Structure 1
Amino acid sequence: MCLVFVCGQDERVVSRQPAPGSCPYCGGMIQAVDVDSNWNFCFLPLYHKTKRRHYCTMCARKLMVQGKT
């Protein structure tokens, strides 16, 4: 008997906005991207979250934003 779990993650871009500052690697413009992610188990939604990610438009690196202390 074989038991197969069908799990998956769907991500889609909700919006894009220019972010202040410049890329520390190449000096390019930074873009803030809102990504909607869903985890599914056998086509049943289990988890839903919207995340904001920052990318450089020149070198396409994913950038980490550090909070103020």
Structure 2
Amino acid sequence: MVCFCFLVDQTRKVRQSKPAAGICSRCGGGASVADMKTCTRFCYVPFYWKTWRAIICTFCGAMLRSYQ
């Protein structure tokens, strides 16, 4: 019996962001609206990516809300 193990990982990157009104409920820092890109790789080859918008904290980096 042969068993193969493949490496699958997922990365999130902020493509661009701009300031938004409001504060973070966790640390009290400012909020910003960011265009995010999620890339899923299988054996180091990207095979799926998705772009979406989220509100993130500028101080601690927590995701406060996401919009699909």
Task: Determine if the alignment matches structure 1 residue 22 to structure 2 residue 22.
Answer: yes
State the match for 1:35 in structure 2: 36
| Stretches of structure 1 lacking an aligned partner (at least 5 in a row) | none
Task: Work out the percentage of aligned pairs sharing the same amino acid.
Answer: 32
Secondary structure of residue in 1 paired with 2:6: coil
Total equivalences in the alignment = 65
Which residue identity does 1:35 align to in structure 2?
M
Deviation at 1:11, TM superposition (A): 2.3
| 2:43 maps to amino acid | C
Which consecutive segments of 4 or more residues in structure 1 shift more than 4 A? none
Structure 2: where are the runs of 5+ without partners?
Answer: none
Residue aligning to 2:46: 45
Give the strand-richer structure, 1 or 2. 2
RMSD between aligned residues: 2.6
Are residues 58 and 38 of structure 1, via their aligned partners in 2, closer, same or farther at CA, if it must alter by over 3 Å? Answer: closer
Q: What is the deviation of 1:29?
A: 3.1
Q: Which has the larger radius of gyration?
A: 1
Judged with a 3 Å threshold, the aligned counterparts in structure 2 of structure 1 residues 44 and 57 are, in CA distance, closer, same or farther, namely closer
TM-score, normalisation: structure 1: 0.64
